[in-house]
Amino acid sequence: MGKVHDLTGVQILNYDKNTIYVTGLAKTSKTDPISDIFSTFFVGVMVNSTDNKIIDFTCNTVSQKTSSFIESIIVGYNLLEDMDEIVSQIERRFLGTAQKALIVALKDAQNKYKMFKESGISS
């Protein structure tokens, strides 16, 4: 993945042809501040389809710092094989009110990615 800047200085990420973008969704708790802004919690996971490693990540949190922190936990793991470790790291390190929604959304993304891989389209 290469990073370039357009004429305005905005960073644009270039992903190679083996990168897959998969989303996951979860309902948020009424006590979570995100529920005031969004009706669902959303994750976007960029995965290298060759080795199933998560290479980039985004989610709709209230604060960009929160999204960046969650990204730092998740990037580098194998989406198919490392979910137990990802969940463990989230439970240990991310104590935000969206913790449960984050885990559910990640598992939703994992299931969508598994179906994609099993479909044979990725070949």
pLDDT at 9: 61
CATH code of the domain covering residue 49: 3.90.1010.10
pLDDT reported for residue 121: 77
Q: Can you tell me the distance from the alpha carbon of 54 to that of 47, in angstroms, rounded to the nearest whole number?
A: 4
Q: Is residue 122 part of a domain?
A: no
Q: Which domain holds residue 81?
A: 2-117
Task: For residue 63, tell me if it sits in a domain.
Answer: yes
Per-residue pLDDT of the chain (123 residues), as tens digits, is 555 545 566 666 788 999 999 999 998 766 655 555 557 889 999 999 999 999 999 998 878 899 999 999 999 999 999 999 999 999 999 999 889 999 999 999 999 999 999 987 765
Specify if 123 maps to a domain.
no
Q: Is residue 35 part of a domain?
A: yes
Residues 6+ apart with CB under 8 A from 46: 15, 19, 20, 21, 54, 55, 56, 57
Query: Among candidates 28, 98, 33, which has minimal Cα distance to 70?
Result: 98
- Confirm whether 81 is domain-assigned: yes
Q: What is the pLDDT of residue 4?
A: 52
Write down the pLDDT at residue 97.
86
- Asked whether residue 31 is domain-assigned, the answer is yes
Question: Which residue has 């490693």 as its token pair?
Answer: 53
Number of domains in the chain: 1
pLDDT at 82: 98
